[in-house]
Amino acid sequence: MSNHALSLTYNTIKRMNNLCITLASFIVLFISFSVFVDVILRYFFNRPSIWVTEVSGYLFMYIIFLGTAYALQDEFHINVNFVLGQFKYPARRIISLITSVFSMAFCLVLLWQTSVMSWSAFKGHWVSPTLLSLPYVYIYPVMVFGSLMLFATFLLRTILEFKAEKATEKDR
């Protein structure tokens, strides 16, 4: 695959990540407003809602899985730069490649396990064991989607990063 095709694919993934983080931001607003209203209802009118706590917990999972790929894309994730700074350029490049491979392997395992769990929830008609009895088929797929987006972001970012570094090494 050419650099141009990789860049176009990565730009598409980045746009999708931007949409996901926008959706996650609206979910944060919704949760905040819902909790605020629930607090008012609970303490001033003694009429708490039955759904806010459970739905907020599930929506928090949406926020996490919709936001992780964006965090990677814009480098908001946790980094241990002071350790890498102790090594010279070739060693840093190898360490970066190794950590990227391990991270992608983790993303693949996460994708696999969330897919298995989502499929089981779909086949078994799983519902939450609470008063709302929410079907998990609406809750778990975001984990699959988020894991896929995280893996795709990691893969394309790593490939483009190492192709760009390889090109700059030729110029040195």
| Alpha-carbon dihedral sign for residues 164, 167, 171, 172 | positive
pTM of the model: 0.85
Q: Name the band, by pLDDT with cuts 50, 70 and 90, for residue 166.
A: low
> Per DSSP, what are the bridge partners of residue 132?
none
> In this predicted model, what pLDDT tens digit does every residue of 16-37 receive, in sequence order?
999 999 999 999 999 999 999 9
* Residue 69, number of CB atoms within 10 A of its CB: 27
Report the alpha-carbon distance of residue 14 to residue 19 in Å, rounded.
Answer: 9
pLDDT reading at 39 higher than 90: yes
**Residue among 157, 139, 163, 129 at smallest CA distance from 17:** 157
- Tokens 């090494």, located at residue: 169
